[in-house]
Copies of this chain bind each other. A is one copy, B any other.
Amino acid sequence: MDSQACIFFNLSKANQAALRFLAQKVAELHITPVQAMVLGFLHRGDRVTSSALGKMTELDSATLTGILDRLETAGHIRRHMHPHDRRSIEIHLTPEGKELAALSVGAIDEANREFLAAFTPADRSGLLELLGKLRDKSP
């Protein structure tokens, strides 16, 4: 195993480093990086179904159920009955959740800038493009 040449190893460790970095940024909000990302998506528009949020966040419904459980317990979101489909739930941000979502977006933006501060704009866009290509390889 030549770990330096292994894309799986490098990707995994870069991701771990990124998550640690973001975790420090959102620690003062008392949420995890993933919770901050989900709140960030809801900041663009809540009142979505769990299924729609799952498509946005590219998360499994089982994973999302757990994340929503914790956000609801913390008082950041509420699950409501969907007006036209009794299978679905509609996710609403609470007033506190709305504030926290705005702060999350700011923290994530700041973390993005700082985490990539040492990179040139060309490196930044090149990295995002390459990662995007890798994502699309998924079965």
Chain A positions within 8 Å of B, measured between CB atoms, are: 1, 3-22, 24, 33, 37, 40-41, 43-44, 56, 58, 105, 108, 111-112, 115-116, 118-119, 123-124, 126-128, 130-139
Contacts and interface: CB of A to CB of B under 8 A. Distances in A.
A30 B11 CA distance: 23
B21 A138 contact: yes
Given A112-B6, A126-B126, A44 B12 contact: no
Interface majority SS (helix, strand, loop, mixed), chain A: helix
A96 B133 CA distance: 37
Instruction: Please name the 3 residue pairs, one residue from A and one from B, whose CB atoms are nearest each other, closest first.
Output: A1-B40, A17-B138, A15-B15
A128 B13 CA distance: 11
